[in-house]
Every structure is written in structure tokens, then in C-alpha cells.
Amino acid sequence: MRTIVRYVLGGMLAMGLSGSGYGQATDSAAKTVLLWPNGAPGAQGVGDEDRPSLTVYLPAGGNATKTGVVIAPGGGYQHLSMVKEGEDVARWLNQRGVAAFVLKYRLGTKYHYPAELEDAQRAIRMVRANAAEYGVAEDHVGMWGFSAGGHLTAMAGTHFDAGRPDASDAVDRKGSRPDFLILGYPVITLEEPYLHRGSLKYLLGDEPDPELARSLSNELQVTKETPPAFLFATTDDQTVPVMNSVMFYAALVKAGVPAEMHLFQHGAHGAGLAASNPALSVWPDLVAKWMRERGYMAASQ
């Protein structure tokens, strides 16, 4: 039996569902906001799993570069690693003067595409629409995803629009293109031979349309408009083949998009920031270096 848990974050009442596959980020300095206060498009209920949200983490010492990062935790589109690939990453960014927004997106146990992409696009738009409140510049909004959250991040970077200037909702007037992408051991393709079958199933269902799967295989959708990207993966990842990262990197290079990739020989899938793994723990430092070089993190951080 699942228990509804209510908790106050930053003065706002939020709701979590324990035992549901969704994690919680409980931090007195954070607040959780619904992406659609009046209900998400296509919502099938009013439970926690029907209510995509952002948990907002703002740096205590200011945001010199006015950068914000939407974080998409992984979990194969069937659950969310909200701490290791969510809250921990948000705190890491805050410690370096960057605003962070952990995305709780709808999952394939109940929702299939396009719900997940709609949630990611809405998250980017929402950060831009509230940029002044969050201390973020509208052209400094990136996205960081892990595993299936990496697929969602790459999908947001290859499927975006400029917003609708005539929309009655101020959020919908904003563009959904991330300004940069950070991809940790990402799922990229939905086609053989390198697909992650669980992500395909939970995103598109038991009998996915091959043409739709091809259109959401992000290595095939890269153009010169795709945002600059940083990729990290391990060669012996037994869950998501490393070729996912290699193919996306190759597509970025071919399109002339600035890209950086770091492949480590050994390391299990789902490492997060890898603080306890000496062989991989350097990778967040490489992210920070890349962000500084691109003006998304202050040199002193």
C-alpha cells in the first residue's frame, strides 16, 4: 500500500508518493512547483505520478554566470533516481554557483511519449519564464540527464520549438531549446543493435511504431541547431551500450556542433557523480571545466 506524504518545501506545500517509484528531494532550501498547476496535458489522474514538477535549488552565494540547469534523473522511464541523479547533482551545481531544477517527469508505467518530452520542454520553458525570480539568464538554461534521463535530455535538444508568442500562458511563450546538454551514460538510440530495451518499452509501449522509434533515436536527429553537449560514459557499461554516446558524439561533430566526450574503460552503469569511485570521480570536474570554458560556471567555482 502506498502512503501519501505531505511536506513543506520553501514555504510551498508539495506532495510525494512513497513506494511509487518516484523519489523525493526534501530540503528546506528547496521548493517544488508543478509544471502545470491546473493539470498536465493528457493527465490520467491527480496522483503524484500524474503531476510532473520541478524542485528548485538556488545557490546560496549567488549565481555569477546566471546559469540554470534542468536535471533529468534516469530510471529506464519506469522509475526516477531522484537523489543520486537528481538532488545530489543539484547540490553539486549549487556549490558551484549554478541554479538547479530537478525534473520529476511522467513515467512509462502509466504514460508514454509524448508526455515525457512535453514535461521536459515545459521545464525548460518554466525556468525561462521565471528567470528573473531564479536569478537565471534566459540564454543560460541547460539540461543534464542520466541514462533514460539522458535520452530525454538529448530528445529535448533535438526536438524543440521557439514557443508561441500569442499563447495566453506566459510559460508557453518561451522556447524549449536547451542552451547546452550534459549527458551521463545516456540512452540515445531506440534502434538495434545498441538500444536499451527497457527504455524503448516504457517510452513507446510493448509494440512501438518503428518509424516513431526512429524519429526519437537522437543520433539521427542532430542538426547544426542542436545545443553544444558534454558526454560521459564507460566502455564496459553492461546496461546501456557505450555506442549510444559514441553515435551521438559523432553526429554532433558531423553537424558542426561543439561537443566533448569522455569515455572511461571501466565503470558500472548508474554511477551518478561517482564520488565513491576513484576511477570515475574525476568526471564531474571535467563537466565543471567544460562549463567554465563555455561561460556557464564562474572561473572561481
For the cut 70, the answer to whether the pLDDT of residue 165 exceeds it is yes
- For the chain, the average pLDDT equals 91
Residue 51 near residue 237 (C-beta atoms within 8 A): no
Q: What is the pTM of this model?
A: 0.90
Q: Model confidence at 2, in pLDDT bands (50, 70, 90)?
A: very low
Structure confidence by residue, pLDDT tens digits, 261-299? 999 999 999 999 999 999 999 999 999 999 999 999 999
What pLDDT, on a 0 to 100 scale, did the predictor assign at position 301?
Answer: 61
pLDDT in tens, 197-252: 999 999 999 999 999 999 999 999 999 999 999 999 999 999 999 999 999 999 99
96-132 confidence digits (pLDDT tens): 999 999 999 999 999 999 999 999 999 999 999 999 9
Q: What is the pLDDT of residues 73-87, one digit of tens each?
A: 999 999 999 999 999
Q: Residue 29: pLDDT band by 50, 70, 90 thresholds?
A: low
Q: Is 243 exposed, middle or buried (0-12, 13-18, 19+ CB in 10 A)?
A: middle
- What fold characterizes domain 31-293? Rossmann fold (3.40.50)
Mean pLDDT of 127-151: 98
- Please tell me the predicted confidence (pLDDT) of residue 259: 98
What pLDDT sits at residue 300? 76
